[in-house]
A and B are shown apart, each in its own frame.
Chain A
Amino acid sequence: MAELRLEHIYKTYKGGVEAVKDLNLTIQDGEFLALLGPSGCGKTSTLRMIVGLESITRGDLFIGGRRMNELEPSDRNTALAFESYALYPPLTVFENIAFCLRARKIEPSQVKQRVTEVARILDIEDILGKRPVELGGGQKQRISLARALVRDPDVFLMDEPLSHLDAAQRAHMRVELKRLHAQTRRTTVLVTHDQLEAVAMAERVAVMNLGVLQQVGTFDEIYNHPVNEFVAGFIGEPPMNFLPCEPVSEGGELGLRATDGSFTLRLPSQRAQQLAKQNLKQVKLGVRPVDMLATSQAGDDRIAGRVYTYESLGEEGQLAARVGGHEVLIVTPPEDHFEPEQPVWLGVRPDRLHLFHGETGAAI
């Protein structure tokens, strides 16, 4: 077990693709971190550099304080659970798990003991004699985890480990992985593009986009205080609404007016002060669908819109309304119902609104 530290890590592939740019990240000893980001943002590249399957173009990688850049994959004592499982088809499940122990010339009796123990933790004792072809996705996944765990790695890495499982298995494995981590307290990095997975298992989340690390923190920190428009839009389901606005002063107070003129909104004084300091022409107002309410009565500080679609989902409803030229999504309580084309008035929780720089997208 050890701390994993990435300092100014770059990865440029042959052909010039910059997959990772200036990545700085420290994962504490025993911590469970989720690396979250859309497809192609460099998550797998990062993992593969940590394991040693891909060379590090620039920067330094430390595991337990030791620089790892030039070490062979087998000398880093990391374990990687592949997205494709990557089990060894000719070998039995037992031999799959024992494979790395055999390479280290560990005594057969010890091998047996360690394999059986890991198999017990992952609940695969009854299939140790089978071959991978005979098994289903969930079982293969467990074997690949067992294979990674049996070697007692300093750092445990998983690349989208649940992406090939069905919904029920996925929910089950989430719990299992979390329990496994609680039991072993191993430094763990989980790569995923599914935020539910990240929230469910990890203690901290790192969000990447286009090869650049955007924000690191607990899920609550990232959800409540996203550092930029990308993170705000990427985290949270359904995604945040963004409305382009311009600051206007009304009677000495700074407020917002929609760029298309469809509404004006007063800001809480603290937000107004922050905004005033920046002296911007263009901002983006960000509000999560759960932080809005929709009524059929006009009211003070309500935004006028028109119902576009409404879906009742049982425990909640989802209302899409048109405000000026934009579509706004609102999560509504189950007892409310809306008809298309009906006028609605939308309220925004003033303490829950987000403001972003109109050009850079940085949070204000």
Chain B
Amino acid sequence: MDATLRKRLIGIFSDGFLVLYFLFALFPIVWMVLVSLKSTDELFTTQFIFTPTLDNYQAILFGDARASAGVIARQEFPRNFMNSFIVSSGAVIVSLLVGVPAAYALARYNFKGKENLAFTFLSFRFAPELVVIIPLSLIYRQLGLYDSYFGIIWVYQLVTLPLLIWVLRSYFEDISPDIEQAAMIDGYPWHRIFIQILLPLVRPGLAAAALLAFVFAWNNFIFPLVLGASNVQTVTVSALGYISSAQAFFNRMAAAAVISSLPQMLLALSIQRYLIRGLSFGAVKG
């Protein structure tokens, strides 16, 4: 077998594999969209019956026309969606405000316990949320943070902050301190150096980390479930509401899920360019 033939075979093979993986990865999304377009009668059949309807979307967005269900009395999906949006973007914004300076400090300065501190941030990420949730919920109730936006945004820092700090730290470490010092001699105050020189250099990492943090926050289930109630209910938690002892509205749940995943998909597509470069830790070149 000659080399070109082998190359082509390998090419076909890997393409085939990618197509398979693509189908595999996309299947749940396709299924979810299909289910969201079905009526309740079509849901639980063994044959594939499919007459697409937008009823489910109509129901979750504008209320159930027939009002038969009683599962969700008021139509809360738009509100839940807003809640999700508020707490997720709030969490990312707070993480940016805190994480960027923290990452910079971890990259630039030597201080006592620096590595321990950095590791502590990271450990937020791999400690199971269930471990802290009970004590947290007691504390939250005492402090009056229970069921408040502020409380949820705060606890989401456990999810969003470590990622930002660790990605950005490696970016800042890649930038030579000489560059900042040169700019200092050139007569720039630190904040202008940061905006004009450093920020453009860390932007890919910033974008990628912020997006991922947003996705993690958006998908989080346990924190708003335990630490929130009707005020801050997010789409992840409200999905539970489509199932009751009497009936399970999987089709509405699917419709809600479709709408809920739209922001993430749009975001990911719009900054796709940054994503790969951004997470391949440190791509700054002087």
Interfacial residues, chain A to chain B (CB-CB below 8 A): 51-53, 72-74, 78-80, 82-91, 99-100, 103-104, 132-133, 147, 151
Known: A87-B286, A90-B197, A90-B200. A74 touches B176 (CB 8 A): no
Name the CB-closest residue of A to B175.
A89
* Interface residue? B70 (CB, 8 A): no
In whole angstroms, what is the CA distance A52 to B183 when docked?
13
**From DSSP, what is the main secondary structure of chain B's interface residues?**
helix
Smallest CB–CB gap between A253 and chain B, Å?
Answer: 59
Interface residues of B in 157-202 (CB under 8 A from A): 176, 178-179, 181-188, 196-197, 200-201
Residues of B within 8 A of A80 (CB): 182, 185
Smallest CB–CB gap between A48 and chain B, Å?
Answer: 8
* Interface residue? B285 (CB, 8 A): yes
Which of B179, B183, B185 has a CB less than 8 Å from the CB of A51? B185
Digit string of B242-286 for contact with A (CB within 8 Å is 1, else 0)? 000000000000000000000000000000000000000000111
A99 touches B201 (CB 8 A): no
Which of B181, B186, B286 has a CB less than 8 Å from the CB of A103? B186
Residues of A within 8 A of B187 (CB): 74, 100, 103-104
Interchain residue pairs A-B with the least CB separation, the first 5: A74-B187, A86-B178, A100-B186, A90-B200, A103-B187
Smallest CB–CB gap between B203 and chain A, Å?
Answer: 9
A86 touches B197 (CB 8 A): no
A82 touches B186 (CB 8 A): no
Residues of A within 8 A of B285 (CB): 89, 133
B286 touches A133 (CB 8 A): yes
Name the CB-closest residue of A to B203.
A90
Name the CB-closest residue of A to B180.
A86
B184 touches A89 (CB 8 A): no
Q: What are 17 A-B contacts defined by CB distance under 8 Å?
A: A72-B184, A73-B185, A74-B185, A80-B185, A82-B178, A83-B178, A87-B286, A88-B179, A88-B196, A89-B197, A89-B201, A90-B201, A100-B186, A133-B285, A133-B286, A147-B182, A147-B186
Which of A73, A84, A87, A91 has a CB less than 8 Å from the CB of B184? A73
Residues of A within 8 A of B181 (CB): 53, 73, 82, 86
A88 touches B178 (CB 8 A): no
Residues of B within 8 A of A147 (CB): 182, 186
Interface residues of B in 192-243 (CB under 8 A from A): 196-197, 200-201
Which of B185, B186, B188, B286 has a CB less than 8 Å from the CB of A89? B286
Name the CB-closest residue of A to B197.
A88
In whole angstroms, what is the CA distance A132 to B201 when docked?
13
Name the CB-closest residue of A to B188.
A103
In whole angstroms, what is the CA distance A151 to B188 when docked?
14
B183 touches A85 (CB 8 A): no
7 A-B pairs besides A85-B286, A89-B284 with CB distance below 8 A are A74-B187, A84-B178, A86-B181, A86-B182, A87-B286, A88-B182, A103-B187
Residues of B within 8 A of A90 (CB): 196-197, 200-201
Which of A51, A73, A84 has a CB less than 8 Å from the CB of B176? A84
A132 touches B196 (CB 8 A): no
Which of B179, B201, B284 has a CB less than 8 Å from the CB of A86? B179
Residues of A within 8 A of B184 (CB): 53, 72-74
A82 touches B182 (CB 8 A): yes
In whole angstroms, what is the CA distance A82 to B180 when docked?
12
In whole angstroms, what is the CA distance A90 to B197 when docked?
6
Smallest CB–CB gap between A36 and chain B, Å?
Answer: 22
In whole angstroms, what is the CA distance A190 to B286 when docked?
23
A78 touches B179 (CB 8 A): no
Residues of B within 8 A of A85 (CB): 286
Smallest CB–CB gap between A82 and chain B, Å?
Answer: 5
In whole angstroms, what is the CA distance A132 to B285 when docked?
9
Name the CB-closest residue of B to A89.
B286
Smallest CB–CB gap between A112 and chain B, Å?
Answer: 18
Residues of B within 8 A of A88 (CB): 179, 182-183, 196-197
Residues of B within 8 A of A132 (CB): 286
In whole angstroms, what is the CA distance A352 to B286 when docked?
49
In whole angstroms, what is the CA distance A147 to B186 when docked?
9
B186 touches A74 (CB 8 A): yes
